[in-house]
Amino acid sequence: LPEEDCMQLNPSFKGIAFNSLLAIDICMSKRLGVCANRASSWGGARSMINLLGITGHGIPWIAGTLICLVKSSTLAGQEVLMNLLLALLLDIMIVAGLQKLAKRKGPYDINPGLLDYLTMDTYAFPAGHASRVAMLSKFFLNHLVLAIPLRILLVLWALCVGLSRVMIGRHHITDVLSGFVFGYLQFRLVELIWMSSNTCQMLISIW
């Protein structure tokens, strides 16, 4: 037999392990998709879960950041907001590129919404909402002075948004976990290329 046929007949241990984990991921994701449609066990809560997901969407965050940037009168505030805007734009571009490469569909046949199309968040891997909330949480924890209860709520919010994407059937568990990882890496990238106050003022003056 040709070598490739022998490989199919005798799959490697890595191949078996990968396929097994993939099957577990799909099975668990379908079980957690309790709001995937109106007929699901938690179908009545779908609107509420969708609303929670919107809090992690890119368009409202970009719009809110721009409004705060216009209203901000301090150099320190403008520096943080400009870098936050950079982080949000990088998140959209990086996630869109990775999704186009992977082209993984979600566990359920759920059509993306209008906001998802605007941010090119049309595939499942990695989860754009998960990457965004992970990046935002880490950004705020590092650059804002927050009381401990608020810091805990910020982390819980990120986890709940990630879970909501699985519950409505848009993403697998691994999509969300990968999104959290990519979100943290995006935060590290923004820290590396952090724009100084002078650079931010120059960009604002051009704008």
d(CA 157, CA 151): 10
pLDDT over threshold 80, residue 119 = no
pTM for this predicted structure: 0.86
Which amino acid is located at 96 in the chain? A
So which residues are the catalytic ones? 129, 171
The predicted pLDDT at position 10 comes to: 57
- From the list 49, 50, 61, the residue with the least C-alpha distance to 140 is 61
Question: What does the pLDDT read at residue 7?
Answer: 47
Tens of pLDDT, residues 98-118? 999 988 888 887 777 777 777
* pLDDT over 80 (residue 153): yes
- Whether the Cβ atoms of residue 123 and residue 105 lie closer than 8 Å to each other: yes
* pLDDT on residue 115: 72
For helices 148-167 and 46-54, what crossing angle results, to 10°? 120
Give the pLDDT of residue 1.
Answer: 43
What's the pLDDT band for 5 if we cut at 50, 70, 90?
very low
Mean pLDDT of 123-152: 92
For 194-204, how does the pLDDT look when each residue is reduced to its tens digit (9 = 90+)?
999 888 888 88
